[in-house]
Structure 1
Amino acid sequence: MNRAGRTLLMGCLLLISPLSSLAGGNSLLIPATSRCVLDTPAEAREQALAQCRAFAEGGDAEAQYELGEYFYEGQLHPQDLPQALHWYEQASLQGHAGAQLRLGMLFWHGEGVPASNLQAYIVLKMAAVNGSDDAMDSADEVAEQMSRDELARANRVLGEIFRNYLMELQATDLGPPFAPLR
């Protein structure tokens, strides 16, 4: 399936609302999702970093991702992979597709963590489910490097994650996961 087909399929499966609907239908006014402005002059950076950390520590997935990027990129600050991994993991646990994509790539290439195709594949597939086309393509590339046994293990883990998710949905007041929406 090509990238456009996967995008359409994922959008239909996840019932993702387009960003333009958040901007009152004007596709030129897509709202900013940034919580952190870290590319400030050096004298203001500590304050900006403290504010971003406060958002991130308060559970803001976008701020967590942006801190991960800040520590990973190392343009305004020396690269700090342990900090980057920490913030990517925090955002990933909340389903942030960008953080999951970056985390999957770190596992694939062994940056700051031991290289693991198995972990990379699982995290990249989760990022793909959360809307990252790049993650879908990267997961396909990782799969080409995996043995049948590794793929089977990874798919068992993904199946378990999905089963747990469906059980959580059933426990909510929304009813069974495949019932029509009210």
Structure 2
Amino acid sequence: MRRIVVGSVLLGLASQALGQDVRTGIQAWTEGRYPQAVAIWKPLAQNGSADAAFNLGQAYKLGRGVPADLAAAQRYYEQAARGGHLEAQTSLGLLLFQNGNRAGALRWLGQAAQAGEPRAMLVYGTALFNGDGVPEDRARAYAFVSRAAAQGLAPARVTLGEMDQLIPLDERKKGVALAQVMVAKPAAPAPAAGSKSGRRTSAKLAARSPTPATPAVAARPAPQGAFRVQLGAFRDSSAATSLFARLSPKLGGASMTLVPSGTMTRLQVGPYATRAQASAACAALRPQPCFPVAAR
């Protein structure tokens, strides 16, 4: 699962009515006083604060102020998710996905997607495209991914462009119309995870990973060296090179490419002739978050 940049997530919580004590914890966190932040949030979470519970989930996931503990992170995410916290619903879904609980992951991601959380819309739209744990519905998949792209989620824009090549125009038009309806009013309940999907066509979404940046559409055969694998996005390029150095023994001689993206640097490795080869390279790196991308 891709490491969430805690500054942007923690300071950009969905709730607009954070309690002063929660804000005090956030201030301590941004100043690097992680144990103090955790100490502030714990009693608030015990008293039912979804914001504090979400922040504790982040702390346990990242191992800041407390030892890294994904089980504890999951408990706090779930507490916040049950309190209606969209970031927590998405983070919980992604964590469950990483742990192999696809049904539980899709239940939370579907709920967050319907509420408009862009990362959840991208991942849940991917599942709908494939009929992977939910009934296949490509028009609805296009609606969710197009909404995520409209909110500026860069991987969603890439996925949407590839969907344009795989979904017929009439279905895409239905997806756009459905997206407009979704924005105007709440969507219908998400199909139950694990239900039987309809007939699948040959093109599927590849790299169904728990990270929101990972879904990518499996395209037609590509020329030699047309794909890389992406291993993360970093504010500090030295973190990207350090990760590459750590993983290089498993990469079979593949080379590193650093791709600037706004204030971030994407770590990509390759080249690979086909998306299938790139996906196989990702599989060898598990549990490291990894997904195929077109080399540009």
Q: Same fold (TM over 0.5)?
A: yes
User: Please, what is the CA RMSD of the aligned residues?
Assistant: 3.3
CA contact (8 A) 1:124 1:139 kept: yes
Give 1:47 shift: 4.2
The structure 2 residue matched to 1:69, chosen from 83, 86, 94, is: 94
Which SS does the other structure have where 2:115 is aligned?
coil
Give 1:69 shift: 0.9
Give unmatched runs, 5+ long, in structure 2. Answer: 1-7, 13-29, 33-50, 186-296
CA contact (8 A) 1:120 1:142 kept: no
Query: C-alpha distance in 2, partners of 1:119/1:96?
Result: 15
- Aligned length in residues: 134
Query: C-alpha distance in 1, partners of 2:181/2:76?
Result: 37
Query: C-alpha distance in 2, partners of 1:116/1:155?
Result: 13
CA contact (8 A) 1:56 1:64 kept: yes
TM-score (norm 1): 0.61
Query: C-alpha distance in 2, partners of 1:66/1:48?
Result: 10
1:50-79 CA deviation, whole Å, 9 max, x = no partner? Answer: 2221111011111111110111112xxxx1
Which SS does the other structure have where 2:159 is aligned?
helix
Give 1:130 shift: 2.3
Give unmatched runs, 5+ long, in structure 1. Answer: 1-18, 24-28, 166-182
The structure 2 residue matched to 1:55, chosen from 73, 76, 80, is: 80
CA contact (8 A) 2:140 2:178 kept: no
Match of 2:220 in 1: none
Query: C-alpha distance in 2, partners of 1:80/1:46?
Result: 13
One-letter code aligned to 1:61: L
Match of 1:117 in 2: 138
One-letter code aligned to 2:95: Y
Q: How does 1:1-182 map to 2 (within 5 A)?
A: 35=55, 36=57, 37-38=60-61, 46-74=71-99, 79-162=100-183, 164=184
* Identity of matched residues, %: 24
TM-score (norm 2): 0.39
Displacement over 6 Å in runs of 4+: none
Cα 1:91/1:108, change in 2 over 3 Å = same
